Chains A and B, each alone.
Chain A
Amino acid sequence: MSESELTMSTGHEVLMEASPYRIEKKKLGMWIFIVSDACTFATFLFGYGYMRVGSQNWGTPFDFPTILNGIIMTFVLLSSSLTMLAAVRATQAGQKPSANKWLGLTITLGTVFAILHLREWFKMFGEGWGLFSNPTGGAVQFGACFFSVTGLHLAHVISGVIALLIITRGYNRGRYDTSHVETAGLYWHFVDLVWMFVFPMMYLMNAR
């Protein structure tokens, strides 16, 4: 059940007049969540920076194939932001088939990103990387920082894909409307934006 239906069923909506800033509460809630989530990511990245600066043997273990994989992942995720934008436009225009197409494409791209990411993780596990092991002999913090920062981001991508699946389904059944798709879009763009910090800091700065 959506939040708006819920307030409706408690009988409270009727007392409220239109919001003074014309930001719907769901959307405002998502913005506030994004502010707080940005702080959470900032904490992880600050910890990573602190570890890195304080380390004497950090090392730069990523070779070209890893970076190339990262570039492809970046391309996929950024494209998914575009398709999400198109999906929001389509729902606003009330074009259900088009909206479905773009939502589906966004979900696919998100899934491809997650698969590429996990494939790389498992490759690294195979090489002996772990939360507290570094096969190159450098700082053990490398694995800890890499897997926790990218893991947090990956968790966001996967939750985003699941949320988009649920919203697409609800949208097709008429349970959710444009505002739900738009709110999900806000979240999705935020996850992309975070990747634009994670990619240079975790990959490019660690390229050999």
Chain B
Amino acid sequence: MHDMSAHAAAHHAPPSGFIRKYVFSVDHKVIGIQYTTLSLVAAFIGMALSWVMRIHLGWPAASIPFLGTLSPNGAPGGVPTPEYYLSLMTMHGTIMAFFVLTAAPMAGYGNFMLPIQVGAADMAFPRLNMASFWVTFVGFVLACATFIIPDGPPISGWTAYAPLSAVGQVAGPGQGRGQDLWVLSIALFCVASLLGALNFIVTTIDLRTKGMTLSRLPLSTWAWFINAWVSLLAFAVLLPTGLLLLLDRVGGTSFFIPGGLVVNDKLLPHSGGSPLLFQHLFWFFGHPEVYIIILPAFGIVAHLMPTFTRKPLVGGWKVITFAMIAIGSLSFLVWGHHMFVSGMSPSMAMVFSVPTLIITIPSVIGVLVFAFSLYGANIRFTTPMLFCLGFISLFISGGIGGFFLAQPAVDSYLHATSFVVGHFHFTMGLSAIFATFAGFYYWFPKMWGRMMNETLGKVHFWLSFVLVYCVFMTMHLMGLTGAVRRYSSYVADFMVPQIPTNRFMTVAALLLGATQFIFLYNAIWSRFKGPKAADNPWGATTLEWDTTSPPPFDNFGGRQMTIHHGPMEYDADAFVMQTSPEKSIAGT
């Protein structure tokens, strides 16, 4: 043993070259920051796409600056064609769902925090970890490259429903090379996510430090661990689905293309395939995917709430953890609820409707745990805490829409309206984004060693919170009046009276976008000019606050951490670190 530590100590120095240190680094902290930065860039690109869509919906004839230059065919004179609108929508969904919501809270914060929170010095497989980031990066570059190829991005949505996504160029602009690039990009993202999930699981099982039993794991680590399992099973299905789609596109097979299909007046040579098969395979991934997005959000909020309410969560670690396990497991049984009107047997609709209603139970339990934990708490209204409260509010508001959509009879009316768009933006989009912001403000001092500005953070929160409701609550109402999603404009039908409503949403969305620049300014300014952060600025108990800000290369400066308590040892005016041998004050 002694020999081994001597041997290891000889290699102890962190890499010194710029490339090894900041670019192709195997350090989980650098990789976590790389993921977070990639997601931040992706989020602003995705948001810019939504502005273009919103402007076009509000003022269909308006010319949008720079758009005519970016795509002379897709937006002649800066006015997007209906097809180009679909391209923008596809890439908005793809970039946001995969490269922001899946990447940031899991791969970004998880990579940085999980090894520290379990008391390890790095992930179990550091080199695989580096590979998963760079594969994600290439996937992101391919996704962005669809904008500069002549065809433009695909028009088939982030779900890439076949046969539209499978038949190729004949289906419209972007369905040729654009869709090929899209499939490759997503396949790479799958590979990266699988490698990441494998790393998260092995790290959590194998590398926990002394005393870190499962009941003492921080709840964010629990969430990342459960989520890694869900990712592992879900992305392992999306990857072969992408391969089959690629075979249909370039190999001439007919997995997803039915016989006798006529597209744009051209009879296709395929026969015997099934578009429903694609939907089954896609949603078998796709529904767990929305929980892959929301589970880390649950974990972040569960991790932050005890710190800022200065008391353990209601039900201790068990209730919230079992709720997350139940959500993760049930998420694999509900995929058919996306297909109520796809031509699936109505009896199958019942089979999927029941688990869909059942999965609301652990989701409601989770949110109620958060809400009830506020009772009798000494709440510290810091920016991260405000975003946690925002998460609770948005998740409940969006979740209520889920009760309507889960029922096949009601869904037949609401399917493919903007009610659905409002619903998923609340639940998996903005809830997750708010939790991601909460995590960003909370962990920023640890990641960069400086504090963010609280005043700007609070302004950012309140403006975002109000504007988010203006945009997406209104979107629910639009859906009830019959606004069909994916339509690029409503200029000549029964939706004309809703144009003022659309304009209201557009203005709110643009203001919401502008608000995010307050956040960006705050982040960049604080990174360089913010006040130096203490080791434990929030008075929290978990291991990441038991080391310097930012942590040294090996996380704890050679110390072997020993855990004595669970993560929620809070009292009105005291707290006990997980490593402290002091007596427990909250009995966790």
Contacts and interface: CB of A to CB of B under 8 A. Distances in A.
Interface of A: 3, 6-17, 19-21, 23-25, 28-29, 32-33, 35-40, 42-44, 46-47, 50-51, 54-55, 131-132, 139-141, 144, 148, 152
Name the interface size band of chain B.
Answer: 35 or more
A100 to B, nearest CB: 28
17 contacts: A9-B11, A10-B121, A11-B12, A13-B121, A14-B5, A15-B556, A21-B205, A35-B232, A36-B232, A36-B235, A39-B236, A47-B281, A55-B272, A141-B254, A144-B253, A148-B243, A148-B247
A50 B280 contact: yes
Contacts of A43: 236-237, 240-241, 281, 284
B282 to A, nearest CB: 11
Nearest to A1: B127
A36 B236 contact: yes
Interface in B26-82: 26-27
A3 B121 CA distance: 15
A20 B271 contact: no
Contacts of A32: 197-198, 201-202, 232
Contacts of A51: 255, 272-274, 277
Interface in B241-279: 241, 243-244, 247, 251-255, 271-274, 277
B560 interface: yes
Contacts of A36: 194, 197-198, 232-233, 235-236
Nearest to B240: A43
Contacts of B26: 6, 10
B208 interface: yes
A19 B560 contact: no
Contacts of B122: 7, 10, 12
B9 A140 contact: no
A130 B120 CA distance: 51
A46 B239 contact: no
B120 A15 contact: yes
Interface of B: 4-5, 7-9, 11-13, 26-27, 119-122, 124-128, 194, 197-198, 201-202, 205-210, 232-233, 235-237, 239-241, 243-244, 247, 251-255, 271-274, 277, 280-281, 284, 553-556, 558, 560
| Chain A facing B: main interface SS | helix
Given A11-B12, A14-B4, A132-B253, A140 B207 contact: no
Given A8-B7, A11-B554, A14-B9, A131 B247 contact: yes
Given A14-B8, A29-B198, A32-B232, 20 more contacts: A3-B127, A7-B124, A8-B8, A9-B11, A13-B8, A14-B5, A15-B119, A15-B120, A15-B556, A23-B205, A29-B124, A32-B197, A36-B198, A36-B236, A37-B236, A40-B240, A43-B236, A43-B237, A131-B251, A148-B243
Nearest to B121: A12
A49 to B, nearest CB: 10
B255 A12 contact: no
A51 B273 CA distance: 7
A141 B553 CA distance: 54
A38 B240 CA distance: 11
Contacts of B273: 51, 141
A14 B5 CA distance: 6
Contacts of B244: 44, 47, 148
Contact of A29 (B119, B125, B126): B125
Contacts of A47: 240, 244, 255, 277, 281
A106 B232 CA distance: 30
Nearest to B127: A6
Residue among B194, B198, B205, B240 having the largest count of chain A Cβ atoms under 10 Å: B240
Contact of A10 (B11, B198, B233): B11
Given A10-B26, A11-B12, A47-B255, A28 B206 contact: yes
B202 A6 contact: no
B202 A132 contact: no
Nearest to B13: A11
B301 to A, nearest CB: 27
A66 to B, nearest CB: 21
Given A8-B11, A25-B206, A32-B232, A15 B554 contact: yes
Contacts of A23: 205-206
A192 B244 CA distance: 23
Contacts of B254: 132, 140-141, 144
A208 B126 CA distance: 51
Given A14-B5, A148-B244, A33 B252 contact: no
Contacts of B205: 19-21, 23, 28
Contacts of B12: 11
A19 B206 CA distance: 5
B247 to A, nearest CB: 6
Contacts of A13: 4, 8, 121
B255 A35 contact: no
Nearest to A148: B247
